[in-house]
Structure 1
Amino acid sequence: MELEKLFAQLHSLPSIPKVAQDLIQQFDNPSTSLDAVARNIALDPVIAVKILRLANSARFRGSRESTSIEDAAMRLGFNTLRTLVLASAVTGAFTAAPGFDLKGFWLHSFQVASVSRLLAKQQGMDADTAFTCGMMHNIGELLIQTGVPELAAKLNTPGARGAAGRAANEILQLGFGFPDVGAELARRWQLPVIIQQAIAFQNNPMQAPETNPLPKTVAQAVLISEVLGAHGGATDEAREALDSPLLEGVDLDKLFAALPAVLEADKAFEQLLS
Protein backbone atom coordinates (compact mmCIF):
# COMPACT_ATOMS: atom_id res chain seq x y z
CA MET A 1 0.00 0.00 0.00
CA GLU A 2 1.20 3.52 -0.79
CA LEU A 3 1.27 5.99 2.09
CA GLU A 4 -0.80 8.41 0.02
CA LYS A 5 -3.50 5.74 -0.34
CA LEU A 6 -3.81 5.44 3.44
CA PHE A 7 -4.52 9.15 3.76
CA ALA A 8 -6.95 8.95 0.83
CA GLN A 9 -8.91 6.20 2.62
CA LEU A 10 -9.50 8.42 5.64
CA HIS A 11 -12.93 10.04 5.51
CA SER A 12 -11.38 13.22 6.87
CA LEU A 13 -7.92 14.16 8.09
CA PRO A 14 -7.74 14.52 11.88
CA SER A 15 -7.45 18.21 12.68
CA ILE A 16 -6.32 20.17 15.69
CA PRO A 17 -7.89 23.48 16.74
CA LYS A 18 -6.31 26.71 15.56
CA VAL A 19 -5.41 27.65 19.13
CA ALA A 20 -3.19 24.57 19.34
CA GLN A 21 -1.68 25.21 15.90
CA ASP A 22 -0.87 28.75 16.98
CA LEU A 23 0.82 27.51 20.14
CA ILE A 24 2.94 25.03 18.21
CA GLN A 25 4.01 27.74 15.79
CA GLN A 26 4.96 29.94 18.75
CA PHE A 27 7.50 27.45 20.16
CA ASP A 28 10.42 29.59 19.09
CA ASN A 29 8.76 32.94 19.79
CA PRO A 30 10.18 34.42 23.03
CA SER A 31 7.65 37.28 22.97
CA THR A 32 4.64 34.99 23.46
CA SER A 33 2.69 36.18 26.50
CA LEU A 34 0.48 34.33 28.94
CA ASP A 35 -2.33 36.82 28.35
CA ALA A 36 -2.25 36.23 24.61
CA VAL A 37 -2.39 32.47 25.11
CA ALA A 38 -5.30 32.80 27.53
CA ARG A 39 -7.24 34.93 25.04
CA ASN A 40 -6.74 32.30 22.35
CA ILE A 41 -7.83 29.49 24.66
CA ALA A 42 -11.00 31.37 25.54
CA LEU A 43 -12.00 31.17 21.87
CA ASP A 44 -12.20 27.37 22.03
CA PRO A 45 -14.87 26.34 24.57
CA VAL A 46 -13.92 22.64 24.61
CA ILE A 47 -10.29 23.30 25.50
CA ALA A 48 -11.27 26.15 27.84
CA VAL A 49 -13.47 23.84 29.93
CA LYS A 50 -10.68 21.28 30.23
CA ILE A 51 -8.16 23.92 31.28
CA LEU A 52 -10.50 25.22 33.98
CA ARG A 53 -11.15 21.68 35.22
CA LEU A 54 -7.42 20.96 35.42
CA ALA A 55 -6.64 24.27 37.12
CA ASN A 56 -9.10 23.28 39.84
CA SER A 57 -7.85 19.70 40.14
CA ALA A 58 -6.07 18.39 43.21
CA ARG A 59 -2.66 18.95 41.61
CA PHE A 60 -3.14 22.66 40.87
CA ARG A 61 -5.97 23.79 43.16
CA GLY A 62 -5.21 26.90 45.19
CA SER A 63 -7.04 28.56 48.07
CA ARG A 64 -9.96 29.46 45.80
CA GLU A 65 -11.52 28.15 42.63
CA SER A 66 -10.40 29.43 39.23
CA THR A 67 -13.40 30.80 37.35
CA SER A 68 -11.71 32.35 34.31
CA ILE A 69 -9.14 31.26 31.74
CA GLU A 70 -6.93 34.20 32.74
CA ASP A 71 -6.92 33.07 36.37
CA ALA A 72 -6.31 29.44 35.35
CA ALA A 73 -3.43 30.56 33.13
CA MET A 74 -1.78 32.43 36.01
CA ARG A 75 -2.17 29.39 38.26
CA LEU A 76 -0.83 26.87 35.77
CA GLY A 77 1.98 28.95 34.27
CA PHE A 78 2.90 29.20 30.61
CA ASN A 79 4.73 25.90 30.15
CA THR A 80 2.10 23.79 31.90
CA LEU A 81 -0.71 25.64 30.16
CA ARG A 82 0.83 25.11 26.75
CA THR A 83 1.41 21.43 27.43
CA LEU A 84 -2.17 20.90 28.58
CA VAL A 85 -3.61 22.76 25.59
CA LEU A 86 -1.57 20.66 23.18
CA ALA A 87 -2.46 17.45 24.98
CA SER A 88 -6.16 18.32 24.92
CA ALA A 89 -6.08 19.31 21.26
CA VAL A 90 -4.18 16.28 20.02
CA THR A 91 -6.11 13.70 22.04
CA GLY A 92 -9.37 15.29 20.92
CA ALA A 93 -8.44 14.95 17.26
CA PHE A 94 -8.75 11.16 17.24
CA THR A 95 -11.46 8.61 17.91
CA ALA A 96 -10.91 5.02 18.95
CA ALA A 97 -11.06 2.17 16.47
CA PRO A 98 -13.04 -0.89 17.67
CA GLY A 99 -10.96 -3.01 20.03
CA PHE A 100 -8.17 -0.43 20.33
CA ASP A 101 -7.23 0.82 23.81
CA LEU A 102 -7.16 4.55 23.09
CA LYS A 103 -6.78 5.59 26.73
CA GLY A 104 -3.87 3.21 27.23
CA PHE A 105 -2.34 4.51 24.03
CA TRP A 106 -2.40 8.11 25.25
CA LEU A 107 -1.16 7.23 28.74
CA HIS A 108 1.87 5.59 27.10
CA SER A 109 2.32 8.64 24.87
CA PHE A 110 2.31 10.96 27.88
CA GLN A 111 4.87 8.79 29.66
CA VAL A 112 7.18 8.92 26.64
CA ALA A 113 6.62 12.69 26.56
CA SER A 114 7.51 13.03 30.25
CA VAL A 115 10.69 11.01 29.86
CA SER A 116 11.59 13.00 26.73
CA ARG A 117 11.26 16.20 28.71
CA LEU A 118 13.55 14.91 31.48
CA LEU A 119 16.15 13.77 28.95
CA ALA A 120 16.01 17.12 27.17
CA LYS A 121 16.55 19.02 30.42
CA GLN A 122 19.50 16.80 31.24
CA GLN A 123 21.04 17.45 27.82
CA GLY A 124 20.35 21.21 27.69
CA MET A 125 17.67 20.97 25.01
CA ASP A 126 14.23 22.59 24.68
CA ALA A 127 12.22 20.52 27.16
CA ASP A 128 8.78 21.66 25.97
CA THR A 129 9.49 20.78 22.34
CA ALA A 130 10.84 17.39 23.45
CA PHE A 131 7.63 16.80 25.42
CA THR A 132 5.56 17.57 22.32
CA CYS A 133 7.65 15.21 20.19
CA GLY A 134 7.18 12.47 22.76
CA MET A 135 3.44 13.06 22.97
CA MET A 136 3.10 12.87 19.18
CA HIS A 137 5.68 10.19 18.48
CA ASN A 138 3.15 7.45 17.68
CA ILE A 139 0.18 9.41 16.29
CA GLY A 140 0.72 7.55 13.02
CA GLU A 141 -0.50 4.43 14.77
CA LEU A 142 -3.93 6.01 15.21
CA LEU A 143 -4.21 6.74 11.50
CA ILE A 144 -3.32 3.14 10.69
CA GLN A 145 -6.05 2.01 13.10
CA THR A 146 -8.56 4.28 11.36
CA GLY A 147 -7.44 3.94 7.74
CA VAL A 148 -6.91 0.17 7.53
CA PRO A 149 -8.96 -1.30 10.41
CA GLU A 150 -8.92 -4.86 9.01
CA LEU A 151 -5.13 -5.01 8.92
CA ALA A 152 -4.85 -3.01 12.14
CA ALA A 153 -6.85 -5.69 13.96
CA LYS A 154 -4.23 -8.26 12.95
CA LEU A 155 -1.41 -5.93 13.97
CA ASN A 156 -3.02 -5.48 17.40
CA THR A 157 -2.59 -9.12 18.31
CA PRO A 158 0.36 -9.96 20.60
CA GLY A 159 3.46 -10.57 18.54
CA ALA A 160 6.40 -8.32 17.91
CA ARG A 161 7.28 -6.52 21.12
CA GLY A 162 8.18 -2.88 21.38
CA ALA A 163 7.81 0.08 19.05
CA ALA A 164 10.55 -1.02 16.67
CA GLY A 165 9.03 -4.48 16.36
CA ARG A 166 5.60 -3.06 15.67
CA ALA A 167 6.90 -0.66 13.03
CA ALA A 168 8.80 -3.51 11.35
CA ASN A 169 5.63 -5.63 11.30
CA GLU A 170 3.66 -2.73 9.82
CA ILE A 171 6.27 -2.24 7.09
CA LEU A 172 5.99 -5.94 6.29
CA GLN A 173 2.18 -5.83 6.12
CA LEU A 174 1.60 -2.33 4.74
CA GLY A 175 4.80 -1.08 3.21
CA PHE A 176 5.24 1.65 5.83
CA GLY A 177 5.27 1.98 9.60
CA PHE A 178 3.67 4.33 12.10
CA PRO A 179 6.69 6.71 12.15
CA ASP A 180 6.24 7.30 8.40
CA VAL A 181 2.51 7.94 8.83
CA GLY A 182 3.02 10.20 11.84
CA ALA A 183 5.66 12.28 10.09
CA GLU A 184 3.39 12.76 7.09
CA LEU A 185 0.50 13.82 9.35
CA ALA A 186 2.82 16.27 11.14
CA ARG A 187 3.78 17.69 7.74
CA ARG A 188 0.14 18.10 6.76
CA TRP A 189 -0.55 19.75 10.11
CA GLN A 190 2.34 22.11 9.29
CA LEU A 191 4.19 21.30 12.48
CA PRO A 192 7.83 22.43 12.71
CA VAL A 193 10.28 20.32 10.72
CA ILE A 194 12.17 19.32 13.87
CA ILE A 195 8.99 17.65 15.17
CA GLN A 196 8.39 15.95 11.82
CA GLN A 197 11.95 14.59 11.94
CA ALA A 198 11.63 13.43 15.55
CA ILE A 199 8.63 11.33 14.56
CA ALA A 200 10.10 10.07 11.29
CA PHE A 201 13.51 8.97 12.62
CA GLN A 202 12.55 7.70 16.09
CA ASN A 203 13.43 4.10 15.18
CA ASN A 204 16.56 5.12 13.24
CA PRO A 205 17.91 8.14 15.13
CA MET A 206 21.40 7.77 13.67
CA GLN A 207 19.92 8.53 10.23
CA ALA A 208 18.40 11.82 11.40
CA PRO A 209 20.00 15.16 10.47
CA GLU A 210 22.95 15.87 12.74
CA THR A 211 21.46 19.26 13.62
CA ASN A 212 18.39 17.68 15.23
CA PRO A 213 19.01 15.59 18.38
CA LEU A 214 15.28 15.10 19.10
CA PRO A 215 14.88 11.78 17.21
CA LYS A 216 17.49 10.24 19.50
CA THR A 217 15.81 11.74 22.57
CA VAL A 218 12.46 10.25 21.55
CA ALA A 219 14.10 6.88 20.82
CA GLN A 220 15.69 6.92 24.28
CA ALA A 221 12.39 7.86 25.91
CA VAL A 222 10.51 5.07 24.11
CA LEU A 223 13.09 2.52 25.25
CA ILE A 224 12.94 3.76 28.84
CA SER A 225 9.13 3.77 28.82
CA GLU A 226 9.03 0.19 27.55
CA VAL A 227 11.40 -0.92 30.32
CA LEU A 228 9.34 0.94 32.94
CA GLY A 229 6.26 -0.90 31.72
CA ALA A 230 8.01 -4.26 31.83
CA HIS A 231 9.33 -3.76 35.38
CA GLY A 232 6.43 -2.03 37.12
CA GLY A 233 7.74 1.53 37.05
CA ALA A 234 10.99 3.24 38.03
CA THR A 235 12.29 0.25 40.00
CA ASP A 236 15.83 -0.95 40.62
CA GLU A 237 15.13 -3.79 38.19
CA ALA A 238 14.16 -1.31 35.49
CA ARG A 239 17.32 0.68 36.10
CA GLU A 240 19.48 -2.42 35.77
CA ALA A 241 17.67 -3.50 32.58
CA LEU A 242 18.58 -0.28 30.77
CA ASP A 243 21.86 -1.44 29.31
CA SER A 244 21.86 -0.12 25.74
CA PRO A 245 24.33 1.80 23.54
CA LEU A 246 21.40 4.11 22.71
CA LEU A 247 21.58 5.50 26.25
CA GLU A 248 25.28 6.35 26.15
CA GLY A 249 25.79 9.74 27.78
CA VAL A 250 22.50 9.63 29.73
CA ASP A 251 22.84 9.94 33.51
CA LEU A 252 20.43 7.14 34.39
CA ASP A 253 20.90 7.57 38.15
CA LYS A 254 19.87 11.21 37.90
CA LEU A 255 17.01 10.31 35.57
CA PHE A 256 15.62 7.63 37.86
CA ALA A 257 15.88 9.92 40.86
CA ALA A 258 13.61 12.40 39.08
CA LEU A 259 11.22 9.93 37.44
CA PRO A 260 8.86 9.06 40.32
CA ALA A 261 7.88 12.67 41.01
CA VAL A 262 7.50 13.48 37.31
CA LEU A 263 5.38 10.42 36.54
CA GLU A 264 3.16 11.15 39.53
CA ALA A 265 2.73 14.79 38.57
CA ASP A 266 1.87 13.97 34.98
CA LYS A 267 -1.08 11.86 36.10
CA ALA A 268 -3.02 15.11 35.69
CA PHE A 269 -3.10 14.29 31.98
CA GLU A 270 -5.32 11.30 32.74
CA GLN A 271 -8.10 13.79 33.38
CA LEU A 272 -7.93 14.79 29.72
CA LEU A 273 -8.94 11.25 28.81
CA SER A 274 -11.90 10.88 31.17
Structure 2
Amino acid sequence: MKLETLFDKLHELPTIPKVAQELILQFDDPKTHIDSLARNIERDPVIAAKVLRLANSVRFHGTRDSTSIDDAAMRVGFNTLRTLVLASAMTGAFRTNAAFDLKQFWRHSFEVASICRLLARQRGVDPDTAFTCGMMHNLGELLIQTGAPEYASRLRTTVSSAAHAADETLQLGFGYPEVGAELARRWLLPQIIQDAIAYQAKPRQAPEGDQMALLVAQAARIADAIERFGGAGEAAREAVEGPLMEGIDLDQLFEALPEVVQADRAFSEVLA
Protein backbone atom coordinates (compact mmCIF):
# COMPACT_ATOMS: atom_id res chain seq x y z
CA MET A 1 0.00 0.00 0.00
CA LYS A 2 1.36 3.45 -0.91
CA LEU A 3 1.11 6.48 1.33
CA GLU A 4 -0.95 8.33 -1.28
CA THR A 5 -3.41 5.42 -1.31
CA LEU A 6 -4.13 5.87 2.39
CA PHE A 7 -4.96 9.54 1.89
CA ASP A 8 -7.02 8.72 -1.21
CA LYS A 9 -9.10 6.28 0.87
CA LEU A 10 -10.21 9.11 3.15
CA HIS A 11 -13.49 10.68 2.09
CA GLU A 12 -12.49 13.79 4.03
CA LEU A 13 -9.15 14.80 5.48
CA PRO A 14 -9.44 15.42 9.24
CA THR A 15 -9.74 19.17 9.72
CA ILE A 16 -9.09 21.60 12.56
CA PRO A 17 -12.08 23.87 13.35
CA LYS A 18 -11.70 27.42 12.05
CA VAL A 19 -11.95 28.98 15.51
CA ALA A 20 -9.20 26.65 16.75
CA GLN A 21 -7.00 27.61 13.79
CA GLU A 22 -7.50 31.30 14.59
CA LEU A 23 -6.71 30.68 18.24
CA ILE A 24 -3.50 28.82 17.42
CA LEU A 25 -2.37 31.80 15.32
CA GLN A 26 -3.27 34.13 18.19
CA PHE A 27 -1.11 32.17 20.60
CA ASP A 28 1.87 32.63 18.27
CA ASP A 29 1.35 36.40 18.19
CA PRO A 30 3.42 38.08 20.94
CA LYS A 31 0.89 40.95 21.05
CA THR A 32 -1.98 38.65 22.06
CA HIS A 33 -3.65 39.25 25.43
CA ILE A 34 -5.44 36.55 27.38
CA ASP A 35 -8.72 38.51 27.40
CA SER A 36 -8.86 38.52 23.58
CA LEU A 37 -8.17 34.76 23.63
CA ALA A 38 -11.06 34.28 26.04
CA ARG A 39 -13.44 36.14 23.70
CA ASN A 40 -12.50 33.88 20.81
CA ILE A 41 -12.73 30.73 22.94
CA GLU A 42 -16.32 31.69 23.74
CA ARG A 43 -17.11 31.32 20.02
CA ASP A 44 -16.46 27.56 20.19
CA PRO A 45 -18.76 25.84 22.72
CA VAL A 46 -16.70 22.63 22.73
CA ILE A 47 -13.39 24.34 23.49
CA ALA A 48 -15.09 26.68 25.97
CA ALA A 49 -16.57 23.74 27.88
CA LYS A 50 -13.18 22.04 28.08
CA VAL A 51 -11.51 25.20 29.36
CA LEU A 52 -14.12 25.52 32.11
CA ARG A 53 -13.78 21.84 32.98
CA LEU A 54 -10.00 22.10 33.28
CA ALA A 55 -10.20 25.28 35.34
CA ASN A 56 -12.48 23.52 37.80
CA SER A 57 -10.45 20.29 37.92
CA VAL A 58 -8.51 19.23 40.99
CA ARG A 59 -5.32 20.59 39.43
CA PHE A 60 -6.57 24.19 39.17
CA HIS A 61 -9.65 24.48 41.39
CA GLY A 62 -9.41 27.29 43.93
CA THR A 63 -11.77 28.35 46.71
CA ARG A 64 -14.66 28.86 44.28
CA ASP A 65 -15.94 27.52 40.98
CA SER A 66 -14.87 29.17 37.76
CA THR A 67 -18.01 30.03 35.79
CA SER A 68 -16.77 32.35 33.01
CA ILE A 69 -14.23 31.85 30.23
CA ASP A 70 -12.41 35.03 31.29
CA ASP A 71 -11.95 33.72 34.81
CA ALA A 72 -11.08 30.20 33.64
CA ALA A 73 -8.47 31.53 31.20
CA MET A 74 -6.82 33.60 33.92
CA ARG A 75 -6.85 30.64 36.31
CA VAL A 76 -5.13 28.12 34.02
CA GLY A 77 -2.73 30.64 32.44
CA PHE A 78 -1.51 31.37 28.93
CA ASN A 79 0.66 28.29 28.34
CA THR A 80 -1.89 25.82 29.70
CA LEU A 81 -4.62 27.50 27.67
CA ARG A 82 -2.50 27.20 24.53
CA THR A 83 -1.95 23.51 25.17
CA LEU A 84 -5.63 22.83 25.80
CA VAL A 85 -6.79 24.67 22.67
CA LEU A 86 -4.28 22.84 20.48
CA ALA A 87 -5.11 19.50 22.08
CA SER A 88 -8.83 20.10 21.71
CA ALA A 89 -8.36 20.85 18.03
CA MET A 90 -6.35 17.66 17.55
CA THR A 91 -8.73 15.39 19.44
CA GLY A 92 -11.79 16.83 17.77
CA ALA A 93 -10.43 16.21 14.28
CA PHE A 94 -10.54 12.41 14.51
CA ARG A 95 -13.24 9.79 14.95
CA THR A 96 -12.22 6.16 15.41
CA ASN A 97 -13.99 2.86 15.80
CA ALA A 98 -14.99 1.55 19.21
CA ALA A 99 -12.16 -1.01 19.23
CA PHE A 100 -9.53 1.73 19.40
CA ASP A 101 -8.89 3.09 22.90
CA LEU A 102 -8.87 6.82 22.16
CA LYS A 103 -8.58 7.79 25.83
CA GLN A 104 -5.44 5.67 26.28
CA PHE A 105 -4.05 7.03 23.03
CA TRP A 106 -4.30 10.64 24.22
CA ARG A 107 -3.03 9.77 27.70
CA HIS A 108 0.11 8.34 26.10
CA SER A 109 0.41 11.35 23.80
CA PHE A 110 0.31 13.76 26.72
CA GLU A 111 2.82 11.67 28.63
CA VAL A 112 5.25 11.86 25.71
CA ALA A 113 4.55 15.60 25.42
CA SER A 114 5.23 16.18 29.12
CA ILE A 115 8.53 14.31 28.91
CA CYS A 116 9.47 16.26 25.77
CA ARG A 117 9.01 19.50 27.70
CA LEU A 118 11.30 18.31 30.51
CA LEU A 119 13.93 17.19 28.02
CA ALA A 120 13.72 20.51 26.16
CA ARG A 121 14.42 22.43 29.36
CA GLN A 122 17.52 20.36 29.94
CA ARG A 123 18.75 21.01 26.42
CA GLY A 124 17.87 24.71 26.39
CA VAL A 125 15.35 24.54 23.53
CA ASP A 126 11.77 25.82 23.41
CA PRO A 127 9.71 23.65 25.82
CA ASP A 128 6.32 24.67 24.35
CA THR A 129 7.32 23.63 20.84
CA ALA A 130 8.70 20.37 22.25
CA PHE A 131 5.42 19.73 24.07
CA THR A 132 3.47 20.30 20.86
CA CYS A 133 5.73 17.96 18.87
CA GLY A 134 5.35 15.30 21.55
CA MET A 135 1.58 15.62 21.64
CA MET A 136 1.35 15.28 17.85
CA HIS A 137 4.06 12.66 17.36
CA ASN A 138 1.70 9.76 16.66
CA LEU A 139 -1.07 11.47 14.69
CA GLY A 140 -0.24 9.02 11.92
CA GLU A 141 -1.48 6.20 14.12
CA LEU A 142 -4.89 7.87 14.32
CA LEU A 143 -5.02 8.37 10.58
CA ILE A 144 -4.19 4.71 9.96
CA GLN A 145 -6.98 3.75 12.36
CA THR A 146 -9.51 6.02 10.66
CA GLY A 147 -8.33 5.71 7.06
CA ALA A 148 -7.31 2.06 6.83
CA PRO A 149 -9.07 0.14 9.64
CA GLU A 150 -8.83 -3.10 7.71
CA TYR A 151 -5.04 -2.76 7.87
CA ALA A 152 -4.97 -1.40 11.40
CA SER A 153 -6.85 -4.42 12.72
CA ARG A 154 -4.07 -6.72 11.46
CA LEU A 155 -1.28 -4.83 13.19
CA ARG A 156 0.18 -6.37 16.32
CA THR A 157 -0.02 -4.43 19.55
CA THR A 158 3.54 -3.75 20.65
CA VAL A 159 4.98 -2.11 23.74
CA SER A 160 7.66 -0.16 21.95
CA SER A 161 6.71 2.85 19.81
CA ALA A 162 9.67 2.19 17.54
CA ALA A 163 8.68 -1.47 17.15
CA HIS A 164 5.11 -0.45 16.35
CA ALA A 165 6.31 1.92 13.63
CA ALA A 166 8.54 -0.80 12.20
CA ASP A 167 5.63 -3.25 12.25
CA GLU A 168 3.44 -0.84 10.32
CA THR A 169 6.19 -0.24 7.78
CA LEU A 170 6.55 -3.99 7.27
CA GLN A 171 2.81 -4.59 6.79
CA LEU A 172 1.64 -1.37 5.16
CA GLY A 173 4.74 -0.13 3.40
CA PHE A 174 4.95 2.94 5.63
CA GLY A 175 4.71 3.73 9.33
CA TYR A 176 2.90 6.27 11.42
CA PRO A 177 5.80 8.78 11.37
CA GLU A 178 5.48 9.13 7.59
CA VAL A 179 1.68 9.32 7.77
CA GLY A 180 1.72 11.88 10.57
CA ALA A 181 4.29 14.04 8.79
CA GLU A 182 2.22 14.03 5.62
CA LEU A 183 -0.90 15.02 7.57
CA ALA A 184 1.05 17.82 9.27
CA ARG A 185 2.21 18.99 5.83
CA ARG A 186 -1.35 19.04 4.50
CA TRP A 187 -2.46 20.93 7.59
CA LEU A 188 0.29 23.49 6.84
CA LEU A 189 1.83 23.03 10.28
CA PRO A 190 5.32 24.48 10.87
CA GLN A 191 8.21 22.58 9.30
CA ILE A 192 9.75 21.92 12.72
CA ILE A 193 6.65 19.89 13.70
CA GLN A 194 6.60 18.05 10.38
CA ASP A 195 10.26 17.08 10.81
CA ALA A 196 9.84 16.03 14.45
CA ILE A 197 7.09 13.62 13.42
CA ALA A 198 8.84 12.38 10.29
CA TYR A 199 12.25 11.66 11.88
CA GLN A 200 11.20 10.40 15.32
CA ALA A 201 12.23 6.81 14.45
CA LYS A 202 15.51 8.00 12.89
CA PRO A 203 16.39 11.23 14.77
CA ARG A 204 20.03 11.23 13.67
CA GLN A 205 18.81 11.79 10.09
CA ALA A 206 16.81 14.91 10.99
CA PRO A 207 17.86 18.24 9.42
CA GLU A 208 21.04 19.62 10.96
CA GLY A 209 20.43 21.61 14.13
CA ASP A 210 16.89 20.31 14.63
CA GLN A 211 16.64 18.63 18.04
CA MET A 212 12.88 18.05 18.20
CA ALA A 213 12.91 14.63 16.52
CA LEU A 214 15.53 13.49 19.03
CA LEU A 215 13.47 14.79 21.95
CA VAL A 216 10.41 12.93 20.66
CA ALA A 217 12.42 9.72 20.24
CA GLN A 218 13.81 10.02 23.77
CA ALA A 219 10.42 10.88 25.28
CA ALA A 220 8.71 7.97 23.53
CA ARG A 221 11.40 5.58 24.80
CA ILE A 222 10.91 6.85 28.35
CA ALA A 223 7.11 6.69 28.12
CA ASP A 224 7.35 3.10 26.86
CA ALA A 225 9.55 2.18 29.84
CA ILE A 226 7.15 3.82 32.31
CA GLU A 227 4.31 1.81 30.81
CA ARG A 228 6.31 -1.43 30.83
CA PHE A 229 7.49 -1.14 34.43
CA GLY A 230 4.38 0.42 35.92
CA GLY A 231 5.84 3.81 36.79
CA ALA A 232 8.90 6.06 36.69
CA GLY A 233 10.96 3.95 39.08
CA GLU A 234 14.51 2.65 39.00
CA ALA A 235 13.66 -0.21 36.63
CA ALA A 236 12.28 2.21 34.03
CA ARG A 237 15.27 4.50 34.45
CA GLU A 238 17.75 1.66 33.89
CA ALA A 239 15.78 0.44 30.87
CA VAL A 240 16.23 3.70 28.96
CA GLU A 241 19.98 4.06 29.50
CA GLY A 242 22.01 3.98 26.31
CA PRO A 243 23.37 6.07 23.43
CA LEU A 244 19.97 7.60 22.65
CA MET A 245 20.01 9.40 26.02
CA GLU A 246 23.46 10.91 25.62
CA GLY A 247 23.57 14.37 27.21
CA ILE A 248 20.45 13.81 29.35
CA ASP A 249 20.58 13.92 33.15
CA LEU A 250 18.34 10.92 33.78
CA ASP A 251 18.49 11.29 37.56
CA GLN A 252 17.13 14.83 37.35
CA LEU A 253 14.57 13.84 34.75
CA PHE A 254 13.16 10.87 36.64
CA GLU A 255 13.00 12.87 39.85
CA ALA A 256 10.70 15.35 38.14
CA LEU A 257 8.68 12.86 36.10
CA PRO A 258 6.00 11.60 38.54
CA GLU A 259 4.61 15.02 39.42
CA VAL A 260 4.75 16.37 35.87
CA VAL A 261 3.20 13.32 34.22
CA GLN A 262 0.42 13.15 36.80
CA ALA A 263 -0.36 16.84 36.35
CA ASP A 264 -0.63 16.64 32.57
CA ARG A 265 -2.94 13.64 32.78
CA ALA A 266 -5.58 16.21 33.69
CA PHE A 267 -5.57 17.16 30.02
CA SER A 268 -6.39 13.65 28.82
CA GLU A 269 -9.24 13.43 31.33
CA VAL A 270 -10.69 16.73 30.13
CA LEU A 271 -10.34 15.77 26.46
CA ALA A 272 -11.72 12.23 26.80
TM-score range, shorter chain: over 0.9
Partners in 2 of 1:247 and 1:27 — Cα distance? 32
- CA displacement 1:40-92 (0-9 Å, x = unmatched): 21111110011011111111112222121111111111001111111122112
Equivalent residue for 2:249? 251
Equivalent residue for 1:235? 233
Equivalent residue for 2:144? 144
Partners in 1 of 2:117 and 2:137 — Cα distance? 13
Partners in 1 of 2:41 and 2:236 — Cα distance? 39
8 Å contact 1:25–1:192 — kept in the other structure? Answer: no
Q: How many residues align?
A: 272
Equivalent residue for 1:110? 110
Equivalent residue for 2:49? 49
State the one-letter code of the partner of 1:175: G
State the one-letter code of the partner of 2:114: S
Show structure 2 runs of 5+ residues with no match: none
The root-mean-square deviation of aligned C-alpha atoms, in Å, is: 1.5
Partners in 2 of 1:209 and 1:38 — Cα distance? 37
C-alpha displacement at 1:23, in angstroms?
Answer: 4.0
3-state SS, counterpart of residue 208 of structure 2: coil
- Match 1:208 to one of 190, 206, 209: 206
Identify if the C-alpha distance between structure 1 residues 56 and 213 changes in structure 2 by more than 3 Å, giving closer, same or farther.
same
8 Å contact 1:42–1:48 — kept in the other structure? Answer: yes
TM-score, structure 2 as length reference? 0.95
Equivalent residue for 1:172? 170
State the one-letter code of the partner of 1:47: I
Partners in 1 of 2:194 and 2:25 — Cα distance? 13
**Residue 69 of structure 2 is aligned to residue 69 of structure 1:** yes
Equivalent residue for 2:60? 60
Equivalent residue for 2:130? 130
Partners in 1 of 2:186 and 2:217 — Cα distance? 23
Identify if the C-alpha distance between structure 1 residues 210 and 55 changes in structure 2 by more than 3 Å, giving closer, same or farther.
same
- CA displacement 1:156-197 (0-9 Å, x = unmatched): x34x54122111221122211100110111111111110011
Identical aligned pairs, as a percentage? 64
3-state SS, counterpart of residue 153 of structure 2: helix
**Residue 25 of structure 2 is aligned to residue 17 of structure 1:** no
Equivalent residue for 2:36? 36
Partners in 2 of 1:210 and 1:220 — Cα distance? 18
Identify if the C-alpha distance between structure 1 residues 212 and 22 changes in structure 2 by more than 3 Å, giving closer, same or farther.
farther
Structure 1 runs (4+) greater than 6 angstroms displaced: none
C-alpha displacement at 1:207, in angstroms?
Answer: 0.7
8 Å contact 1:138–1:182 — kept in the other structure? Answer: yes
C-alpha displacement at 1:18, in angstroms?
Answer: 2.5
State the one-letter code of the partner of 2:41: I
8 Å contact 1:114–1:263 — kept in the other structure? Answer: yes
Partners in 1 of 2:196 and 2:21 — Cα distance? 18
TM-score, structure 1 as length reference? 0.94
State the one-letter code of the partner of 2:48: A
C-alpha displacement at 1:27, in angstroms?
Answer: 5.7
8 Å contact 2:53–2:270 — kept in the other structure? Answer: no
8 Å contact 1:24–1:191 — kept in the other structure? Answer: no
8 Å contact 2:27–2:82 — kept in the other structure? Answer: no
